[in-house]
Structure 1
Amino acid sequence: MHDLKLFSGNANRVLGKSIADYLGVPLGKISLGRFPDGEISCKIDEDVRGRDVFLIQPTSPPVNESLMELLVMIDSCLRASAERITTVIPYFGYARQDRKDEGRVPITAKLVANLITRAGADRVLTMDLHAPQIQGFFDVPVDHLYAAPVLNEHFLTSGIDLDEVVIVSPDEGSIKRALGHAKRLGGKVAIIDKRRLGPDTTVQANILGGPIEGKVALMFDDMISTAGSILGAARVLHEHNVKEIHVAVTHPVLCGPAVERLREAELASLVCTDSIPLQPDHILPHFRILPVAPLLGEAIKRIHRNESVSKLFR
């Protein structure tokens, strides 16, 4: 591992340090600051010439700051003659607009992919993209990790009676995710019938599948943003008299009214990973935060050694 260099931006330095500890390598020295007008300054404070460099930076809120910081870091390493630059992006922002669903709108997922590639990244390591097809937007290799094994292991060891479990998909787009978790955890699959009334308004009215009365509902999704969908789904589940509700997501974005809505949803637990740092005032008593440093660290080790990453999920 002597040729490997690991650097972290400011978006999630705790995760960067945890990955470095898992790999048994020091976190690289880098100076990131701001000029008086707010422009980002960067200097790599150690030699990276001919090295295999990994840059850890989720593009989480503040998204524009995190993204620009990542681009500046890539350019710094490129101009310092790094042999290979891999961007480790646990959470990939700007992923919601991944297609043109109406006229005169951008495809921002492709735009950001282009920015990262043109800046000089040779490879991308990411986790639970909002839409899997975003992998194809990059003109460099993409290793797409899944947090499902981490989330499943939590429930397998949590003491929940899996004979009482029903896996709930919060909308039709998450059916495949729910089926994957059901294959590992067991239980039937139910689907929330979600209708979109406007750009920011949805309504959940019915449940497809069941019966779910008296069951323990486990609901999985890739992220929680404003928690509107989770709150609506929780209301429908409570109306159908489920025993308790557990929600598991990979990325706890939690913006706007999300925290208040999660209080209102009356969840037994909300399980998430540390792909995004949570503000202390956003952490509720029923939150369970799972580390993903071992998963990311093992993927980094395999990429560095030119070994298979897909074997992690077999």
Structure 2
Amino acid sequence: MPHLDKLKNALPVAPLKLMVLDSAAELGNKVNDYLVDYRHREKNAYTDDPAFQGYVEDDYLFRFSTPRFNSGEGKAILAETVRGKDLFILVDVCNHSLTYQMQGYVNHMSPDDHYQDLKRVIAATNGKAHRINVIMPFLYEGRQHRRSGRESLDCAYAFEELTNMGVSNFITFDAHDPRIQNAAPLSGFDNFTAHYQFTRALLRSEKDLVLDKDHIIVISPDEGALDRAIYFSSVIGADTGMFYKRRDYSTIVGGKNPIVAHEFLGNNIEGKDIIIIDDMISSGDSMIDTSRQLKAMKAKHVFICTTFGLFTNGLSAFDKAYEEGVFDKVITTNLSYRPPELLTKPYYMEADMSKFLASIINFMNHDLSMEIVSTPTERIQRIIELYNDDMEIYQV
């Protein structure tokens, strides 16, 4: 954990509890393990003080359930008291693997179902928690962040609704448009990125990368991801390029305007390694098309780094593209559900975010500045330095 010394003399806001919905169980258990490890190793001279009651525990997970009736209606039941706790609620609205029975049919849970369960557990606390913090890595309805016609603003309304329910802090990752916080500007909203974890995963898997402007180009697949590409390229000392998506705005296919063509804006990429960075892979069609064009332009290697891998159309297109040499690696985080099949693919690499998320929770529980954990520039440069010196990077 970065800057552990900052925690030594900082009082916790209240006893920490981690409420993990079923949708994020795997990630939540790993985060809990890191929190337990952090606090058992922490050299805090005041742990016997009453203000530190419940500070060092063997488990921070809060016990509750969200059962459903056969009609499909649900409820939240708390199995222990939440009074006076600093509650962190973790939910993955993209986990479609969970099911429930309704009228004799098996229904897969949608983002709407997960969001409703989140509201249920908040309502069940009945205002007794000292503070409520929501961790929603994939921002619910994040792509519906603005109006382009007669349509709903679901993301803005959801954030406003959670704020009105008493949520003090909202934590998300790589929001499609972080300006959504303007819906409730006086509420806490923190948006984190995975640049360090991408770097770490990539350098672990590739042993012959040369990280400079002559050998690496960071590509934004569209204009929306350009800020990510510019930051990442500047930190690792690489060049930047961008694709412009030409869309057919006269038609709608699958809820969006289809892409007619990708136009590349940037320097010559022949013989260079390419890192494509974006917030998500949805169907993956545009990402594969981008990679195909880069290989046609004689790129040496193509590495795809996205925070969320949804793969809404399955993995067959990626399997075929990999066999054709269209790309070399796909790196996503474990912040959202990934099909078990993906984890077995030779082209897949995971960027583990559980340790970072545990750090965020620990610092927020002490009411310390999030700048301490949100700026990874120094850590990225340090890991690159170790990589260039052929040193071990696994513990960095």
TM-score by length of 2: 0.75
Question: What root-mean-square deviation, in Å, do the aligned CA atoms of Structure 1 and Structure 2 show?
Answer: 1.7
Aligned partners of 2:142, 2:130: CA distance in 1, in Å?
29
- The C-alpha deviation readout for 1:176-206, integer Å capped at 9, x for no partner, is 1111110122221111121112434113343
Q: Structure 1 residue 41: deviation in Å? A: 2.0
Instruction: Give the alignment partner of residue 74 of structure 1, picking from 117, 122, 127.
Output: 122
Aligned partners of 1:215, 1:121: CA distance in 2, in Å?
46
Q: 1:76-115 to 2 correspondence within 5 Å?
A: 76-77=124-125, 79=126, 81-102=128-149, 104-115=150-161
Specify the SS of the correspondent of 1:85.
strand
Q: 1:280-291 to 2 correspondence within 5 Å?
A: 280-283=340-343, 284-291=345-352
Q: 1:175-254 to 2 correspondence within 5 Å?
A: 175-198=226-249, 199-254=256-311
Instruction: Give the alignment partner of residue 162 of structure 1, picking from 196, 211, 216.
Output: 211
The letter of the residue matching 1:302 is F
Aligned partners of 2:72, 2:129: CA distance in 1, in Å?
27
Aligned partners of 1:40, 1:148: CA distance in 2, in Å?
38
The letter of the residue matching 1:268 is D
Instruction: Give the alignment partner of residue 63 of structure 1, picking from 111, 114, 117.
Output: 111
Q: Structure 1 residue 308: deviation in Å? A: 0.8
Q: Give the number of aligned pairs.
A: 311
- Contact between 2:127 and 2:166, CA under 8 Å: does it hold in 1? no
Aligned partners of 1:75, 1:42: CA distance in 2, in Å?
8
The letter of the residue matching 1:236 is Q
Specify the SS of the correspondent of 2:66.
strand
TM-score by length of 1: 0.93
The letter of the residue matching 2:282 is S
Q: Structure 1 residue 212: deviation in Å? A: 0.3
Aligned partners of 1:251, 1:304: CA distance in 2, in Å?
26
Aligned partners of 1:258, 1:187: CA distance in 2, in Å?
32
Aligned partners of 1:93, 1:306: CA distance in 2, in Å?
25
Distance 1:80 1:140, change over 3 A: closer
Aligned partners of 1:121, 1:34: CA distance in 2, in Å?
24
Distance 1:258 1:176, change over 3 A: farther
Specify the SS of the correspondent of 2:315.
helix
Q: Structure 1 residue 136: deviation in Å? A: 2.1
Distance 1:34 1:293, change over 3 A: same
Matching of residue 271 in structure 1 with residue 327 in structure 2: no
- Contact between 1:48 and 1:80, CA under 8 Å: does it hold in 2? no
Q: Structure 1 residue 244: deviation in Å? A: 1.6
Distance 1:80 1:209, change over 3 A: closer
Instruction: Give the alignment partner of residue 316 of structure 2, picking from 245, 256, 260.
Output: 260
Matching of residue 13 in structure 1 with residue 25 in structure 2: yes
Aligned partners of 1:206, 1:244: CA distance in 2, in Å?
19
Q: Structure 1 residue 285: deviation in Å? A: 2.2
The letter of the residue matching 1:122 is S
Instruction: Give the alignment partner of residue 131 of structure 1, picking from 177, 197, 200.
Output: 177
Query: Which stretch has the larger CA shift, 58-67 or 267-276?
Result: 58-67
Matching of residue 118 in structure 1 with residue 167 in structure 2: no
The letter of the residue matching 1:280 is P
Specify the SS of the correspondent of 1:41.
coil
Higher relative contact order (CA 8 A, sep 6+): 2
Q: Structure 1 residue 258: deviation in Å? A: 4.6
Specify the SS of the correspondent of 2:167.
coil
Specify the SS of the correspondent of 1:97.
coil
Q: 1:24-39 to 2 correspondence within 5 Å?
A: 24=36, 25-39=59-73
Q: Structure 1 residue 165: deviation in Å? A: 1.3
Aligned partners of 2:244, 2:170: CA distance in 1, in Å?
35
Aligned partners of 2:284, 2:243: CA distance in 1, in Å?
15
Q: Structure 1 residue 263: deviation in Å? A: 2.4
The unaligned stretches of length 5 or more in structure 2 are: 1-11, 37-58, 96-109, 250-255, 376-396
Matching of residue 306 in structure 1 with residue 362 in structure 2: no
- The C-alpha deviation readout for 1:70-114, integer Å capped at 9, x for no partner, is 11111112x161111101111112011111122x11111112112
- From the CA coordinates, give the structure whose radius of gyration is larger: 2
Specify the SS of the correspondent of 1:33.
coil
Partner of 1:173: 224
- Contact between 1:12 and 1:276, CA under 8 Å: does it hold in 2? yes
Query: Which stretch has the larger CA shift, 137-146 or 46-55?
Result: 137-146
Query: Which stretch has the larger CA shift, 67-76 or 194-203?
Result: 194-203
